[in-house]
Structure 1
Amino acid sequence: MAYALLAVLSAAISVTYCYAAAFQDLGGNGRSRTSIKFLAVGDWGGLPYPPYITAVQKTTAQEMSKVAERMGADFVLALGDNFYFKGVDSVDSPRFQETFESVYTAKSLRVPWYVLAGNHDHAGNVKAQIEYSQRSDRWKFPSYYYELNFRIPNTGKTLTIIMLDTVMLCGNSDDFMDEKPRGPLNSMDANRQLVWLQERLARSKADFLLVAGHYPVWSVSEHGPTECLLQRVHPLLIKHNVTAYLCGHDHNLQYLEESGVGYVVSGAGNFLDPDVRHWNHVPKGSLKFFTGQASTLGGFVHAEVTKSKLILTFFQAKGTSLYRTVLSQREFK
């Protein structure tokens, strides 16, 4: 009896943390479509005092709306640090309105925002951000980590995006102390997520398989590579032929490629940082693109997934694309 009760409780706890989704509805007229398009932006979370947004966030939001209208965007990936500097304290926090709803107002951005938590969010109440999914028609944050599945219209191909909580996995970090993650707060939660990730990757037959988290695997900037992710996640990305890993945390735009996996850093949604102190701490030749200059006014990434390729375009907020790369669909041996 006690064992049965424990099993039920364990199952209930795991539901809180992870969420395996059925295929998402892209909406709109899909008859002539043959691709999925989305934006990826991290570290976009404004300020905890008036005016609650930064100039970078404002210009980036405006350019996101223009690119979404011109090139199309079915959804947005929000890659963490959604509310600076200590997340939100409750689902009733005015920050949801001040830093999110009243900033990304364009019709082209009134699409699903699939959200994950960053280190600043974990300084507050992440459960409140999850609960806000019930209050907003576009804020989609079903649990700490979860899986998204999409059918690429009229192609027979599929896209899967696995959304991680890298803070739960590796521990929190204090940006103002330049600290690295010191290990998970709860090792059981971290291991549960890692097992879940291993299972989802091993099971995936998606033609395009993306993994997203807040902390970078590889980065040349202030925070550099995340040792915990290099040990625990990096081998899985290679083993399971993941198409790309997307993250924020460092406040710039980067693209690296290593062992057949693309690494996207899109953390220029609110602040900019040109720091390159870890330039020599990534695999030689892996860095393909970097910008963190204040003159860009911010930035984000536009992605298009077709039946045979993933096209990534890096945009600066002042209105031009800076870099484009193409990744092929997965090959199954």
Structure 2
Amino acid sequence: MLSAPRLPSAMALILLTIFVAAIPVAYCYPTAFQALEGSSSNRTSIKFLVIGDWGGVPHPPYITPVQKATAREMSQVAEQMGADFVLALGDNFYYKGVDSVDSPRFKDTFEAVYTAKSLKVPWYVLAGNHDHAGNVKAQIEYSQRSDRWKFPSYYYELNFHIPNTGKTLTIIMLDTVMLCGNSLDYEDEKPKGPLRAVDANRQLTWLQERLARSRADFLLVAGHYPVWSVSEHGPTHCLLQKVHPLLLKHNTTAYLCGHDHNLQYIEESGVGYVVSGAGNFLDSDIRHWNHVPKGSVKFFTGQASTLGGFVHAEVTKNKMIVTFFQAKGTSLYRTVLSQRHFE
């Protein structure tokens, strides 16, 4: 009986190394420190905007009045207060994402809307449930077409030096749909578990390792689904089971999300929970008010009169200042979070 030709052991090892290394590439991303564009020598903070659920509509004019008003106010706040980058927390294109990297929606709902010079900064993107109804890989691929669209993989880590302070900021961007499953909004269904358990487990293991390893002075985790929310979708039980204990264990500064179409700030066990999902639609629903820890809700608004909203954050040497803005042109709520302390 003839045996198959054997590869030299060195060659076999090289091929195995390449194969193993390639497995997670589609999902996570190298964790080098990001450079802040145009940073001056005398600044001592990092500033950014947080916007979720901003993705227009799939028919002309491909945007909503809320998106338009929010984009206008984002540009004003970014110009006046500063913004080094934007965190875009999913549902980037309603209602079924995009079908390919050549989709006109990238122009109609993104490039042609956020046109102000102050918003020509990196947009760090993650996927929401509506994005997963389409082609998320196409959104990742669009990173090669746009100077500011930064979506390197399904989940990834961002690291920043806070200028002239010796302090650091880490933001871990999750794919909560891959982790927990897709939710059928129109049927008010909760995610019932991941499509592929192996992908969910790989991401969770990666998250555990990143959190355990992090010595960042400010540590943020961002996803599309909320851990805590008082609105229509309410708390995400999968995240409460899998992610919430990790946030507490590793002294995370805050968890940022969208999914519910309003602005919320919830504080529990020293972690801040920021819901910024008012970028395109508004919802004043508070059906889950009693499904979050008692006394934890510090701020909520989803009123149509606000015209939309978003969050501005500033991370300094020893604190993180979070300000909620309505598109109508005024700040609604501000809170301060402390830097992490290690035993």
Question: Fold-level match, TM-score > 0.5?
Answer: yes
Query: SS at 2:290's partner residue?
Result: coil
Partner residue, 2:330:
320
1:147 matches 2:144: no
Alpha-carbon distance between aligned partners in 2 of 1:13 and 1:125, rounded to the nearest angstrom: 20
Query: SS at 2:87's partner residue?
Result: strand
1:270 matches 2:243: no
Query: SS at 2:255's partner residue?
Result: strand
> Which residue identity is paired with 2:42?
S
Matches within 5 A, 1:94-243: 94-243=104-253
> Which residue identity is paired with 2:175?
D
Partner residue, 1:59:
69
Alpha-carbon distance between aligned partners in 2 of 1:146 and 1:98, rounded to the nearest angstrom: 27
Report the Cα offset of residue 239 of structure 1.
0.2
Partner residue, 1:69:
79
The runs of 5 or more residues in structure 1 that have no matched partner are none
Report the Cα offset of residue 13 of structure 1.
2.0
Report the Cα offset of residue 7 of structure 1.
5.6
Give the one of 29, 32, 38 matched to 1:22.
32
1:86-141: CA deviations, max 9, x gaps?
Answer: 00000000000000000000000000000000000000000000000000000000
The runs of 5 or more residues in structure 2 that have no matched partner are 1-6
Alpha-carbon distance between aligned partners in 2 of 1:236 and 1:275, rounded to the nearest angstrom: 29
Partner residue, 2:3:
none
Alpha-carbon distance between aligned partners in 1 of 2:224 and 2:19, rounded to the nearest angstrom: 29
Alpha-carbon distance between aligned partners in 2 of 1:135 and 1:100, rounded to the nearest angstrom: 13
- Identity of paired residues, percent? 83
Query: SS at 2:31's partner residue?
Result: strand
Stretch of structure 1 that moved more, 197-206 or 11-20:
11-20
Report the Cα offset of residue 30 of structure 1.
2.5
Partner residue, 1:292:
302
Alpha-carbon distance between aligned partners in 2 of 1:228 and 1:29, rounded to the nearest angstrom: 39
Runs (4+) of structure 1 exceeding 2 A deviation are 1-11
Partner residue, 1:279:
289
TM-score computed with the length of structure 2 as normaliser? 0.96
Alpha-carbon distance between aligned partners in 1 of 2:91 and 2:335, rounded to the nearest angstrom: 26
RMSD: 1.1
TM-score computed with the length of structure 1 as normaliser? 0.98
Report the Cα offset of residue 229 of structure 1.
0.1
How many residues of Structure 1 are paired with residues of Structure 2 in the alignment? 333
Query: SS at 1:283's partner residue?
Result: coil
Report the Cα offset of residue 28 of structure 1.
1.1
Answer with 1 or 2: which has the greater Rg: 2
Alpha-carbon distance between aligned partners in 1 of 2:26 and 2:276, rounded to the nearest angstrom: 27
Partner residue, 2:267:
257
1:310 matches 2:320: yes
1:33 matches 2:59: no
